[in-house]
Structure 1
Amino acid sequence: MSFILKRIKEIADQEGISVTALEASIGASKGVFSRALANSTDIQSKWLVKIAENYPQYSPDWLITGKGESKRTDVCQEPLEDYLPQETVKLTNEVIQALKKVISAQQTTIRSQEITIDALQKRIGDMENEK
């Protein structure tokens, strides 16, 4: 497995999302990273750019080379608590985590439905060929 792909997986894990959700968040087709992870193949550089643009809290240097810290230090990372009331921060974080779980569950459902649709289309084709 590519070291860059391992770091992409690590970003997804740190964000609390699936690799499929990370793909969707940067506009990549479903399976771009998943297939590359499974097959130990390379990915296009444009996806690294998209990750850097959409996840600015992660160091592009770390993503590409693995050197240094994964989180950037030049990005404002003061906690929300410094700007918002504690109740708002807690609620916001809870809502974000809940939405990430819902999105992940929906993506799993969609994947399952795509598999079912493919199987049904194949079955329809087989039945039409039998006529």
Structure 2
Amino acid sequence: MDSVLKRIKEIANQEGVSVTALEASIGASKGVFSRALANGTDIQSKWLVKLAENYPQYSPQWLLTGEGEMRKADVLRDLEEKYASGHSTDLTNELIKALKKVISSQETTIQSQAATITALQKRIGELENGK
């Protein structure tokens, strides 16, 4: 899977829903993802933000780049398996690295949400002023 849209489709498959149902679950109109998948076109970044907000168990890094684990919990599970099988002698350092990745992912989400809040506050101000 090498495109964001294919990864979105993979999330739908993991959730056991259609792409159309996934669209509805984030408030997107019918066809936002499915048309883009069919036509090979781009989607608006706001839908990626909505997807990350509504499905926090999936890694935003993976969604955007295809790198890393698909699910955030998989990072910790992999560490537990390494530790249990004796492959990692320094679990603390591995855990710190994994947690830093999760924190970085959350910071990205927070920054995106802050930008959305700012835009919404601006729009509310405009509406209140009659613009």
TM-score tier (shorter): 0.5 to 0.7
Matched-pair contact (CA < 8 Å) for 2:2–2:66: no
The whole-number CA distance in structure 1 between the counterparts of 2:16 and 2:46 is 23
The whole-number CA distance in structure 2 between the counterparts of 1:27 and 1:8 is 15
- Structure 1 residue 73: Cα displacement: 2.8
The whole-number CA distance in structure 2 between the counterparts of 1:2 and 1:67 is 10
RMSD (CA atoms): 2.4
Partner of 1:106: none
Deviation string, structure 1 residues 13-43 (Cα, Å, up to 9, x no partner):
0000000000000000000001000000000
The whole-number CA distance in structure 2 between the counterparts of 1:50 and 1:73 is 20
The whole-number CA distance in structure 2 between the counterparts of 1:29 and 1:65 is 24
The whole-number CA distance in structure 1 between the counterparts of 2:69 and 2:19 is 21
1:53 is the counterpart of 2:63: no
Matched-pair contact (CA < 8 Å) for 1:19–1:34: yes
One-letter identity of the residue aligned with 2:46:
K
Q: Which structure 1 residue ranges, 5 or more long, are not aligned?
A: 78-131
- Structure 1 residue 70: Cα displacement: 0.2
The whole-number CA distance in structure 2 between the counterparts of 1:74 and 1:19 is 23
One-letter identity of the residue aligned with 1:65:
T
One-letter identity of the residue aligned with 1:46:
K
The whole-number CA distance in structure 2 between the counterparts of 1:75 and 1:30 is 33
**Bigger relative contact order (CA 8 A; separation at least 6):** 1
Kindly tell me the number of residue pairs found equivalent between the two proteins. 77
Matched-pair contact (CA < 8 Å) for 2:12–2:22: yes
1:15 is the counterpart of 2:15: yes
Q: Which structure 2 residue ranges, 5 or more long, are not aligned?
A: 78-131
Matched-pair contact (CA < 8 Å) for 1:7–1:63: yes
Question: Larger radius of gyration, structure 1 or 2?
Answer: 1
Change (3 A) 1:44 1:8: same
Partner of 2:28: 28
The whole-number CA distance in structure 2 between the counterparts of 1:75 and 1:6 is 21
Matched-pair contact (CA < 8 Å) for 1:26–1:50: yes
One-letter identity of the residue aligned with 2:17:
I
